Chain A
Amino acid sequence: MEVLLNDFSPGLFIVQTILLLGLIFLMVKFAWKPILNSLNERETGIQEALAAAEKAKADMQNLQADNDRMLQEARSEREAMLKDAREIKEKMIADSKEQAKLEGDKMLKQAQAAIESEKKAAVADIKSQVAELSVAIAEKVIKEELSSNDKQLKLVDTMLSDIKLN
């Protein structure tokens, strides 16, 4: 202990104190402060960059998801539209078939009715002509039959015999 105390130099202690104070002051001012500040800045910069990258990644994922969702929607919309179109087409075809059928039926009926009436008219016409013709023939036949007394008598005879037969 005595040796230690003897070795202790108060002068060196004072000089060292002054030099150390100066060194701490200069180092803090010219070295540590700028170095530590830059290191902190760099670290926060890195942290921010990492956070930004993470955010960008998340954004990207969101975007991707959005895109997927939109694509899905578009696809289902297309499906729906196609389905609608198909339905409409089928409906239209069915409608027009129906329509055409109705129209055809109607026309057929009209044609049948027309044919029927034509037929009737033609039959009536034929009937009247046949009647006229028969009358005319009958007139001529009668005129011929009744042109002489013999013939008239013969006719009466025939008729009388016919009646007998009946």
Chain B
Amino acid sequence: MMKVSNTIKTLLQLLILCFSLQSFALSDTEQEGAVSTKEEVDEYILHHLKDSHDFHLFSYTNDAGERKHVGFPLPVILWSSNGLVTFMSSEFHHDDNGEVVVEKNGSKFVKLHSKIYELETGASSVNFDEEHHATNAHKVLDFSITKSVVGVLLVGLLMLLAFSSLAKQYAKKSIPTGFGRVLEPLVLYVRDEIARPNIGEKHYRKFTGYLLTVFFFIWVLNLLGLTPFGFNVTGQIAVTACLAIFTLIIYTVSGNKDYWMHILWMPGVPVFVKPILAIIELAGAFIIKPFSLLVRLFANISAGHIVVMSLIAIMFTLKESLGVAGATGLSLVLSFFITLIEVLVAFLQAYIFTALSALFIGMAVAEHDHDHHHDEAGHEVADTEDVRADFI
């Protein structure tokens, strides 16, 4: 355990060293100036919610009036019309408005609102239509190690270190010590409160690995989003979509005969209703369930980030009406309590995502070895499992 914490410490120290060394690039002050007006705050928040190609920590204006950004660049990996292109994000010089053109492998790239565009051949700068959409550039497939990917890698590494050390502890003793003693109840919680009751005693073991991974992945990333590093991984719709699709694939692949029967040819209803129900059930299984999963997580985390940042921005936006001390005090108090709530939301969303995944899997593998009760007319009487399914 000591070893692991030492490793983490060393890693953190290295990271901090990187930050301090990589004070890089500057751009004109009017573009990336200090954030103070309402519009700038809105833009800053929207910018934060998006993924970013460099790891930005903070900015300051030096004595000479130059705007300095502190952080470190991340590798950009693109699949362009001329094949794979890689370069460091520092080549864009913090430009996000498509002004700096980076030429690699015969392709020209610009960064526009956190997205990288490839210019059409022959063009040397981006042209915009009235809605500020680029007219002579198209998006490229962007496999960059963005800030979100760094977050995912960091969390993955932390999870691997923490839980493999817990796993190693069991080889020597049956009751873990140190940090493992904190992790074990969490593992037991996911297994006994999420996997076991929702999937059922018979099948839960097979899916517990996935559920545990997803639970801790989402939870730790949610918490990481509350740190000043400014990660917003679980607020990226691509990430939540990926998680939801994993759940979709798992419950679709492991669905048994009963599950498909209930989707495609619902027993116990008049024949003319069956096709209608099949359409509804198919939409439910393949669109509504994963969509509810991905949007719930994405929206909750994004909303949390927006609220916390907006409350922090009270410091600037209400400076004139409340005075510096009043605005700062109000901002601190409100953002403190909202952050506390966000800590709860971080856990809650991880729990909800995992519990719903478990429930969907449980519905797909549930065994109807019990006969449905039939009333005198031969119609099925809904049992609790069906009733529960109707609520989802």
* A residues lining the B interface (CB < 8 Å): 4, 7-17, 19-20, 22-24, 26-28, 30-36, 38-39, 41-42, 45
Contacts and interface: CB of A to CB of B under 8 A. Distances in A.
Given A13-B242, A31-B164, A39-B187, A19 B208 contact: no
A32 B208 contact: yes
Contact of B143 (A15, A26, A30, A41): A15
Contact of B148 (A12, A17, A24, A28): A12
Contacts of A38: 167, 170-171, 174
Contact of A31 (B163, B174, B237, B239): B163
A30 B160 contact: yes
A45 B174 CA distance: 10
B239 A27 contact: no
Interface centre among A11, A14, A20, A34 (most CB of B within 10 A): A11
A13 B174 CA distance: 40
A4 B188 contact: no
Contact of A19 (B149, B171, B241): B149
Contact of B51 (A12, A19, A42): A12
A107 B174 CA distance: 96
A23 B164 CA distance: 12
Interface string B125-166: 000000000000000011110101100110010011001101
A23 B209 contact: no
A23 B174 CA distance: 26
Nearest to A5: B237
Contacts of B184: 35, 39
28 contacts: A4-B237, A9-B238, A11-B141, A11-B143, A12-B146, A12-B148, A14-B141, A14-B143, A15-B149, A16-B152, A16-B242, A20-B242, A23-B159, A24-B213, A27-B209, A30-B163, A30-B164, A30-B167, A31-B160, A31-B163, A32-B187, A32-B209, A34-B167, A35-B170, A36-B205, A36-B208, A39-B170, A45-B174
B208 to A, nearest CB: 6
A34 B174 CA distance: 12
B295 to A, nearest CB: 9
Interface residues of B, number: 44
* B contact patch SS: helix
B115 A9 contact: yes
A38 B152 CA distance: 28
A32 B236 CA distance: 27
A35 B176 CA distance: 11
Top 9 A-B residue pairs of the complex, sorted by shortest distance between their CB atoms: A31-B163, A38-B170, A11-B142, A28-B209, A34-B167, A13-B238, A12-B238, A32-B209, A16-B242
Interface of B: 50-51, 79, 115, 141-144, 146, 148-149, 152-153, 156, 159-160, 163-164, 166-168, 170-171, 174, 184, 187-188, 191, 205, 208-210, 212-213, 217, 236-239, 241-243, 245-246
Nearest to A34: B167
A8 B241 contact: yes
B160 A26 contact: yes
A16 B244 CA distance: 12
Contacts of A36: 187, 191, 205, 208-209
Given A10-B238, A12-B142, A45-B174, A33 B209 contact: yes
B213 A23 contact: yes
A17 B239 CA distance: 8
Nearest to B302: A7
Contacts of A17: 242, 245
B123 to A, nearest CB: 21
A11 B86 CA distance: 14
A9 B142 contact: yes
Contacts of A7: 50, 236-237
Nearest to B237: A8
Contacts of B187: 32, 35-36, 39
Contacts of B156: 19, 22-23, 26
Contacts of A11: 79, 141-144
Nearest to B195: A36
B208 A20 contact: no
A98 to B, nearest CB: 82
A11 B238 CA distance: 9
A35 B167 contact: yes
A135 B309 CA distance: 176
